[in-house]
């Protein structure tokens, strides 16, 4: 009778982690080069060097892989956001610093995904993964703390956090679609819009 040798638990976990990383790295390259819509699981598998069966041991679809990439990005961005909250003195200073940090992060991610790509098309919004929700909670926590210092500034924190995040995400998406990514201008637009509405926005010549 042939004895099948199983990998030790530690080695097995290392192999799983390495395979997941290979899939995510391959997917990032494929999505950047081909665009999310055009990319297929087969493209990701081919780039990863793993088998189709190995891919489906970890993910059921390219959508799940994209969510995993978004989750990883949110996990890496959270400490950057927390560093801004530690320095915040009021709502405007935190808003500007947080939006600028997000846009800087987004621009860097866009560059790493699209290096060498001609026109990969827009990426979809990821679903609310645990790490993305953790970022939302961090924003809400800081808003609540800042607004709590000023009795005259009592507002619906849930609505405020949701609207600020939504504006930043949408403007960020448009920002990286432009030929020239202007982080300071995009940041200023978001801050002016949130603080003063349309009358506070800078005017264009045409």
Q: Is the pLDDT of residue 176 over 60?
A: yes
Q: What is the mean pLDDT of residues 65-87?
A: 91
- Poorest-confidence range of 10-14, 139-143, 171-175? 10-14
Considering the domain 65-200 in this protein, what is its CATH number?
1.10.357
Under the banding of pLDDT at 50, 70 and 90, the label for residue 117 is low
Distance separating alpha carbons of residues 45 and 142, to the nearest angstrom: 41
What Cα–Cα distance (Å) separates residue 160 from each residue in 38, 142, 151? 36, 11, 16
| Burial (0-12, 13-18, 19+ Cβ within 10 Å), 95 | buried
CA distance 190 to 185: 9
88 or 186: which leads in pLDDT: 186
| Phi and psi at residue 39, to the nearest 5° | -70, 150
Q: Which of 88, 193, 67, 70 is nearest to 147 (CA)?
A: 88
pLDDT of residue 41: 96
Q: Where are the domains of the chain?
A: 65-200
């Amino acid at each position: 009778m042939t004895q099948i040798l199983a990998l030790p638990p530690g080695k097995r976990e290392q192999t799983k982690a390495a395979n997941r990383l290979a899939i995510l790295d391959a997917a990032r390259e494929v999505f950047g080069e081909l665009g999310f819509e055009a990319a297929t699981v087969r493209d990701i598998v081919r780039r990863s060097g793993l088998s189709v069966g190995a891919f489906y041991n970890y993910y059921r679809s390219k959508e799940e892989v994209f969510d995993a990439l978004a989750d990883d990005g949110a996990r890496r961005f959270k400490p950057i956001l927390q560093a801004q909250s530690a320095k915040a003195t009021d709502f405007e200073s935190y808003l500007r610093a947080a939006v600028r940090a997000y846009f800087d992060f987004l621009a860097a991610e866009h560059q790493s995904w699209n290096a060498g790509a001609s026109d990969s098309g827009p990426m979809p919004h990821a679903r609310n993964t645990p790490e993305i929700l953790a970022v939302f909670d961090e924003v809400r926590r800081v808003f609540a703390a800042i607004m709590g210092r000023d009795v005259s500034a009592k507002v619906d924190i849930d609505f405020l956090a949701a609207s600020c995040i939504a504006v930043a995400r949408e403007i960020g998406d448009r920002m990286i679609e432009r030929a020239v990514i202007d982080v300071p201008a995009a940041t200023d637009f978001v801050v002016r819009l949130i603080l003063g509405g349309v009358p506070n926005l800078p005017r264009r010549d045409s």
